[in-house]
Structure 1
Amino acid sequence: MKVGFIGLGNVGGKLAGSLLRNGVALHVHDLNPALVARKVEKGAIAAADPAALMQACDVVITCLPSPAACADVFAQMLPHIGPGKVWMEMSTTDADQIKAHAEAAIARGGEAVDCPVSGGCHRADTGNISIYAGCTRPTFEKVLPILTHMGRRILHVGDVGVSSTLKVMTNYLATINLLSLCEALTVMKAAGMDLGVTYEAIAASSGNSFVHETESQLILSGSRDVNFTLDLVQKDVGLFQKLADDHGVPLELSPLMIEMLTDGQRRYGVTAQSDRMIERLEEATGLSITAPGFPTELVDDEPEERGYEVPVRR
């Protein structure tokens, strides 16, 4: 199958790279010509716009930064979706929006897959990230070979829209974990604890998490560059809050998180790296939450392997 990829940013560029690295015939498009040029150098074919990409390819993957960008690109592709065409949405976007887009694609005879990723840019770079796929079972089996080139663990979650709902939830949890780690590390520093020892104590405890094993290292090294910006975090937490509001769930932590993130954006910039949230506490206390021996960038040391479908407990 000819595969198209739209959106070659922090995550999309790495996912597209995994497809190229594994010999997939790939057509690409992005508003940034430099990003397209890098993929063309590695064997991809450039497309003039989303419409041309959908016309040329059997499967088109979109990985875009906002619901508005998703809507704009989909509108350009829709007239060219028909039988034999599959649209795969890998953006973290609004579940209602993606369901409406999927219905429009299916009404024209095409197929749709809602397949956001989770696990960090460093794992997207090695094909070891996790992917949720929402679609019919026949469509899932059709696109599974493509998904297993981009991700290690592939979970078929049910219908279109389910994936986006689950992804927003996981990003909410990751964010609250990041904010709590900022507080934990700062309190330990204030209490005179060695932060290298503190890191290992958390890692060996019931308080450990994926966020600690990744973002805490970047906080402690001082790099604070996790390849995920505050505007994207705000989008995801906002989508989670909207989901709660729509279903009448009175949240207490989520509104506080939005307030804290807004303050971080006001201080460091709308698109500042998310792990710079530690600097709010550094400024408030005068402490430096850093320690020697931690990396300035994350590298996935798992060997790249072909992905597989994760079985669901029934």
Structure 2
Amino acid sequence: MRVGFIGLGNVGGKLAGSLVRNGIDTTVLDLDDARVAEFVGRGAKRGESPAAIMAACDAVITCLPSPAASAAVVEGTDGILGAVEAGKIWMEMSTTDAAEVRRLGELVAARGGAAVDCPVSGGCHRAATGNISIFAGCDRETFERILPLLTVLGRRVLHTGPLGSASILKVMTNYLATANLLTLCEALVTMKAAGVDLATTYEAIRISSGNSFVHETESQLILNGSRKIDFTMDLVKKDIGLFQELAERAGVPLEINPLLIEIFEDGISRYGARAQSDDIIRRLEEATGISVIADGFPSELVDDEPEAPGHEV
């Protein structure tokens, strides 16, 4: 299968890297030409435009920072829509709005193509090794066609149902991760203020009912002080904003998520939209005069699970 990949950012670059590393015929495109040049040096082809990539490939993957960016690539000038025909597949790996991916998917289907929303979950470090989890929303026939490709990109692949279902589940999981991050920030600062050793605190959480994936990954970066999770505050705000919109459309009066949005809006106003999301703990550090730093924790996350072919779950 010839694959196009548009969007070589923190997540997209790592996913595209798995394709190239595993010998998939890959054509790439990004606003940053230096990133494209790096991939060309690793064996990828240079794409000239979204339309040209769709014309040359069987499937085109987009991994972009916002629904607006995806819409521009799909239906804008030289967008992929102009080259969609029977047999072509658009795979949206961005974290996006379900209603928007359905709208764009209908445009693709009207030209004879197929659309899939297939966001990932599990952190950039696992995207880099092909061990990330993937949700896939589409009809079963299309899912069967792309499953061999998805099992190169990720370790665990879940067919979630029709187009849009994967995006709904993805923003839900990001909401949960954000809530977990903020409660961990409060827990770590409070334990330091109470005089408890932070390395001991980390282990106590890790072996307890309070443990989580977020703790075992992001708490380590917080305690190291690097806070370099490769995910920025503006993206957190986008994702939990999408979850808020989803809940409002469904008539669910959320109580916690509006507070999460407020906290990250404050974090963006203090530290900037592109600040690392784990820097949100600085709000509490500054309010208390406490530094949440401990020895023995890594400055970056490395996935030590060997790369292996993925599978459907």
TM-score using structure 1 length? 0.98
Paired amino acid for 1:279: R
Q: What's the CA shift for 1:308?
A: 0.2
Shift of 1:188: 0.4
**Is 2:156 aligned against 1:153?**
yes
In 1, the alpha carbon distance for the partners of 2:111 and 2:278 equals: 43
User: 2:185 matched to which residue of 1?
Assistant: 182
Give the Cα–Cα distance (whole angstroms) in 1 for the partners of residues 200 and 34 of structure 2: 43
The DSSP-based 3-state class of the residue aligned with 2:52 is: helix
Report the equivalent of 2:11: 11
2:261 pairs with 1:258: yes
Per the TM alignment, residue 120 of structure 1 is displaced from its structure 2 partner at its CA by: 0.2
Alpha-carbon distance, 1:247 to partner: 1.3
2:170 paired residue number: 167
- Superposed displacement of residue 79, structure 1: 1.5
| Among 284, 290, 301, the residue aligned to 2:293 | 290
Amino acid paired to 2:72: D
Alignment of 1:125 with 2:110, yes or no, is: no
| Structure 2 residue aligned with 1:302 | 305
Shift >2 Å, 4+ stretches: none
Query: Where in structure 2 are the equivalents of 1:84-103 lying within 5 Å?
Result: 84-103=87-106
- 1:118-173 superposed Cα distances (whole Å, 9 cap, x missing partner): 00000000000000000111110100011000100000001000000000000000
- Amino acid of the residue matched to residue 8 of structure 1? L
Aligned-residue offset at 1:9: 0.4
Q: Please give the alpha-carbon distance, in whole angstroms, between the structure 1 residues aligned to 2:163 and 2:253.
A: 26
1:250-279 superposed Cα distances (whole Å, 9 cap, x missing partner)? 111111111100110111001110000111
Q: Percent identity at matched positions?
A: 67
For 2:275, what is the secondary structure of its paired residue?
A: coil
Query: For 2:229, which of 211, 221, 226 is the aligned residue?
Result: 226
Q: Which amino acid aligns with 1:14?
A: K
Aligned to 2:43: 43
Counterpart for residue 242 of structure 1: 245
**Structure 2 Cα separation of the partners of residues 146 and 37 of structure 1:** 23
Q: For residue 61 of structure 1, give the secondary structure of its aligned residue in structure 2.
A: strand
Matched residue type, 2:115: A
Structure 1: gaps spanning 5 or more residues? none
SS at match of 1:3: strand
- Aligned partners of 1:121, 1:304: CA distance in 2, in Å? 14
SS in 2 for 1:43: coil
Per-residue CA deviations over 1:50-107 (Å, capped at 9, x if unaligned) read 1110111011000000011000001111121011111100000110000011111111
Aligned to 1:113: 116
Give the match's secondary structure for 2:284: helix
Q: Distance in 2 between matches of 1:140 and 1:247?
A: 27
What root-mean-square deviation, in Å, do the aligned CA atoms of Structure 1 and Structure 2 show? 0.5
Instruction: Name the residue aligned to 1:70.
Output: 70
**Size of the alignment, in residue pairs?**
310
Which amino acid in the other structure matches residue 38 of structure 1? Answer: E
